[in-house]
Structure 1
Amino acid sequence: MRALNVLALLASTAWVTVSGQSCTPLNATFSTEAMPAGEFQPYEMLNPILGKLASRFFVTIVNLTPHPFKLESSNGKKMEQFSFGDVPPGRARQNPITYRGGPIPLADEGTATYTIQGADNKKFLVRATSKLFGGDDSRRVTLDLSGMGLGSREYVFPGGQTAITLVITGSQSYGFRASLSHGPGNWMRQIYDVIRDRPVRHLIMPGTHDAGMSIISNKLISIGSDQNTQNQALNIYDQLRAGSRWFDLRIGTIHPVHERDVTKHEGFWVLHINDEMADFAVGNTGESLDQVIDEINRFTRENPGEIIFFSIRYLVGRYRFPDRGPLLWTSPVVDEFFTKLRTIHNRCPDLDTSTGFQNHNASYFMDQNSGRGCVLLLLNGRLPDNVPQESPKDGIYAFSRIAVRDHWSNKMHARDMAADQVNVWRSVTRGGRDDFKDFLISQWLVTPDPVAATAYTLENFAIEPTNPSLYFHGVNNMDPAHWPNVILVDYIGVVREDQWGWDQLSAELYTLALGLNLYLVSENCEIQKGRPPLIEGL
């Protein structure tokens, strides 16, 4: 992989906010042009045998800039199908590719060249290739952004009929970013001048579902495995680096089988079980709370200035053999839990709770702790009424301090989930008199039954049909007045099965979050008070 060092790029390219000018509809560059409907990967292509035989794939290009991406040339004569097209500002296009030879790779090649109009004729290339009888890794796509000064990267199609995605944001005057690799960990601080005066409900951020389930630690004696219970490849530290700012974290205590005293336990652990209150719970444990805290503190020490939300659920005990129902926490257990939470750095004690956290401006949180930002701990578990529910003086708050609409589709197929999620965010309006006052979480994930999850793995459900569909379907159903606040996913950053090294990850969701805040939301003049930051000089 050849990629430009993003930190060096930040140093050489000034990202500035245009002040002293107003946002008007005349500034608008967002296109309403309809894009071709994208194709969702068929369910049967999750079968690893059928997936290896696939020869039809896609390259999705997402344009979160004010510049049209013009297809300058396309040469796919050595491909069965190689169909690319223009990508207007604010839109995404899923471009289909079919290799010759069916399941047997031939020496195929196709190249599409794009010009970014109004940006000094900056160009980028998409090149699809395969090697004759090259095996599973034969079919590849190179995203070459060297004509933009952003390097290039080669991806291997992971199987099935899935997509490789390229997200580009920024502008000629502001500088460009692309999804080939992650940028600085504190991405919110990088755009502070853009988002500082927006209420939290007008921000968009990645989130991670079952965030602490990056390992299977087997503290429960149950049938939860990495195939059907693990939801992330990265620990909390790396999820933060990959852009996540909302964490679905489920914590419980683990108890010896015959111990009835709830204060005698084997530690606080992340849990993923089917029902924390069920008589018999199916699932497993992930990271320990101690590991999670160490990872949070390492990140905030290295990357100050962010707003980080932890929605902490469950808050009950389970026996190691989880067939005897939950153990409700008593005050001593809650006190022990709070003592651990107090070791998290950059908590924000004694915040103003007279208004919902979603209505405070971003700067209110980002400026806390002398500009080091805010780790917001929001308890949303099964605590009995007779135990402490929060401790604001310690920066530990009840979940009710933020008004949230958290939408879970509970669908097995990506097509059904995507339609359901889009319907929800299209039903609320951002900005103006009808502004949606709450914080909307879109759970962009599927819920396979236990048999399918075990056979095909939660990882493959995420990286083949589900996560790629966010970019061709989800993006094309957003506009400056309709979008979610949190895009909650499984396996953030992962594009190929079991390839979890930092340099093997890809930054689609990280770059999408930058682009949606810098470009999409900024085109809404009910929200953006000054001139949109990406359009200076256009």
Structure 2
Amino acid sequence: MRIFHSLAFVASFAGLLVNAQDACKPQDRTFSTEQTPAGNYQPSAVFMNPASGLASSKFYITVVNLTPHRIKLDNTHSYQMDTFDFGDVPQGRSRQNTVKYRNRIATQDDAGEAYYSIDGTDKKFALRLKGTGPTVDQRSVTLDLSGMNLGQRVYKFPGGESSVSLVITGSAKYGFYASIRHDRGGWMRWIYNTIKDRPIRHLFLPGTHDSGMSKITNKITSIGNSFNTQNQGINIYDQLRAGSRWFDLRIGSVHDNDNSARNLGFHTLHVNDETASLCIGNSGESLDEIISEINLFTRENPGEIVFFSLRYLIGRYEFPDRGPIYWNDQLWSDFLSKIRGVNNRCPNLDTSVPFQNQPASYFMDRNDGRGCVIFLLNGQNLRDVPKEAVGDGLYAQNRIGIKDHWSNMQNADALVPDQINNFKNLNRGGDGDFSQVHISQWLSTPDALASTAYGLQAFAIQQVNPTLYWAGVAGMSPESWPNVLMVDYIGVQQRDQTSWNTLSAEMYWLGIGMNLYVISENCNVNKWRSPLIKARELELAGGEEWNGIIYPNGTMVDHPPPELHPGHASVLRNGTIFLNGTVLETTVPNPWM
């Protein structure tokens, strides 16, 4: 008996030692406080002047480092570039690098390459710039991560003085990942061991604004069109695959002009005021389409938490000039019958605990590990019907504490600092922990004239979304970040290029990297050592290795020849300038070839 008790004590003591060794320690922190140079916004004059934008010669390449390793600039060389400014990227930070092509009307052969290494590892990558002519569409950048076995991606710039971004996360022990392309859809399940014990308010979730407006369906007759009313380029299924876990859905019933009792179906709507006598806007995806897309995603990717914030919940005539139709029992019943078709809903959750205070595992483990699709209802327009249906998995919005910040500004140089100032002082963890879910609406609100003239898509992909990676990341830290970051046109990098292989994956990997690296460095939030400084566990393991090439039109080469590196200069010409200022006087073979 004494021997038994002794062995039990030894085993218990050994377990305590393992736990102590695995505990998060402030001295393990790698997140850098070093500041990188301030970035630049796309000038409004360039954005709003098509001729000026087309002829722009200045562009930016942002590198985001969500790893515990410094990203070091080893060397650069450039030929016929007026500016070629690149630099190191400290841990947890980002750097907007600047390139200015030499503007000439004649055919151009401007080129430049920046070579990086991941400090403390044998991993390397290169950024290659090429210009073949004087217009934006003749200038491109190749993100070459073949030296990390992560592939290559060729991008054209979305507009004059605009930016292309690269997000790198992971570590030498864990494995590296980058935004060359999307990986599997169910990212929350992959990092389950990291996030399972964190309450929802200690997560970072990509989100989409006016999520159902990925197309214009004209179910109401108004002046809303794809320029001023469409907010997304891909449907709910693809938004889920692109990483979004928080959705802004505005659902309305559309009614026969001559018979208000005749409901023509439930659709997403985007209008100026859903309760106005005359409302302006249009319709997007139908509720039936959205339900089908949700079910397809959750069937393929079990174990995720997906929040749908439902607004409007009101009826409008086909010609919306006679005010709203408030839902009666029949419309509410019809709506509920639709929602019951969503798989992996989570009825009868414990409403005595605010949802933001429940650990992620509480939701991810529901439905036998298939996760949770949670509907949160903004019931301000629900007058004579219930404002939630807990037994069906529909909950009043106030079941989760939310601080939702919308800047309501058109220009990025105003809305970006406004958003950052609103979340950068949030205290995460400890006695003063921020106790709500903070939603950052990282999106432009152009006036009717500007949105119709230039398009919400152009504002998103040229002016606003790129700032997220050089400005937004700079405003975040392990102690302060937004829980939900909502954007327009998630994944869209070039106007109207919405096929899957043309989409960019920065938001997807930003979501993973923030949870995996930045938040894990806060010992008041994360009680265990950061997964990136431990040996790799089962998370993210087993993914398909890929070291191919994706071209701007979406063409993918899975197994390119080893010598194929788009944009790579085989020779360095007379006049090539190196990082240290050396200028070549004779043409020589490229030693980095």
Instruction: Quickly name the TM-score band, shorter chain normalised.
Output: over 0.9
Residue 453 (structure 1) aligns with: 451
Counterpart CA distance in 1 for 2:172 and 2:29 is 16
Once the two structures are superposed, what CA deviation does each residue of 1:288-344 show, in whole Å capped at 9, x if it has no partner? 100000000000000101000000000011111111111110111001101100000
Residue 3 (structure 1) aligns with: none
Pair 1:193–1:332, CA change in 2 (3 A): same
1:6-405 alignment, distance < 5 Å: 21-47=22-48, 48-101=50-103, 106-119=108-121, 121-132=122-133, 136-261=136-261, 264-405=262-403
Q: Is the 8 A contact 1:18 1:536 kept in 2?
A: no
Q: Is the 8 A contact 2:517 2:530 kept in 1?
A: yes
Pair 1:456–1:94, CA change in 2 (3 A): same
Q: Is the 8 A contact 1:408 1:443 kept in 2?
A: yes
Pair 1:76–1:251, CA change in 2 (3 A): same
Q: Is the 8 A contact 2:379 2:396 kept in 1?
A: no
Larger Rg: 2
User: Secondary structure of 1:137's match?
Assistant: helix
Q: Which amino acid aligns with 1:505?
A: L
User: Secondary structure of 2:311's match?
Assistant: strand
Counterpart CA distance in 1 for 2:19 and 2:307 is 29
Q: Which amino acid aligns with 2:295?
A: N
Counterpart CA distance in 2 for 1:534 and 1:105 is 47
Counterpart CA distance in 1 for 2:104 and 2:402 is 48
Residue 15 (structure 2) aligns with: none
Residue 476 (structure 1) aligns with: 474
User: Secondary structure of 1:343's match?
Assistant: coil
Residue 567 (structure 2) aligns with: none
Post-superposition offset of 1:231? 0.3
User: Secondary structure of 1:193's match?
Assistant: helix
Post-superposition offset of 1:104? 6.0
**Structure 1: gaps (5+ residues):** 1-16
Post-superposition offset of 1:44? 2.0
Pair 1:423–1:103, CA change in 2 (3 A): farther
Post-superposition offset of 1:385? 3.7
Post-superposition offset of 1:378? 0.8
Q: 1:433 aligned to 431, 434, 437, which one?
A: 431
For this pair of structures, how many residues does the alignment match?
518
Pair 1:404–1:511, CA change in 2 (3 A): same
User: Secondary structure of 2:114's match?
Assistant: strand
Counterpart CA distance in 2 for 1:389 and 1:324 is 25
Pair 1:480–1:349, CA change in 2 (3 A): same
Q: Which amino acid aligns with 1:170?
A: G
User: Secondary structure of 1:80's match?
Assistant: strand
Aligned residues: percent identity?
A: 55
User: Secondary structure of 1:369's match?
Assistant: helix
> For structure 1, which segment, 337-346 or 425-434, has the greater mean C-alpha deviation from structure 2 after superposition?
425-434
Post-superposition offset of 1:218? 0.4
Pair 1:175–1:18, CA change in 2 (3 A): farther
Q: Is the 8 A contact 1:18 1:532 kept in 2?
A: no
Q: Is the 8 A contact 1:52 1:103 kept in 2?
A: no
Pair 1:19–1:72, CA change in 2 (3 A): farther
User: Secondary structure of 2:466's match?
Assistant: helix
Q: Is the 8 A contact 2:56 2:136 kept in 1?
A: no
Provide the TM-score with structure 1 as the length reference. Answer: 0.94
Residue 467 (structure 1) aligns with: 465
Once the two structures are superposed, what CA deviation does each residue of 1:54-111 show, in whole Å capped at 9, x if it has no partner? 1100000000000000100011232111100000000000001000125766210000
Residue 575 (structure 2) aligns with: none
Counterpart CA distance in 2 for 1:355 and 1:88 is 39
Counterpart CA distance in 1 for 2:351 and 2:105 is 60
**Structure 2: gaps (5+ residues):** 1-17, 537-593
User: Secondary structure of 1:428's match?
Assistant: coil
Where do 4+ consecutive residues of structure 1 move more than 4 Å? 17-20, 102-105
Q: Is the 8 A contact 2:58 2:100 kept in 1?
A: yes
Counterpart CA distance in 1 for 2:337 and 2:179 is 39
Provide the TM-score with structure 2 as the length reference. Answer: 0.86
User: Secondary structure of 1:412's match?
Assistant: coil
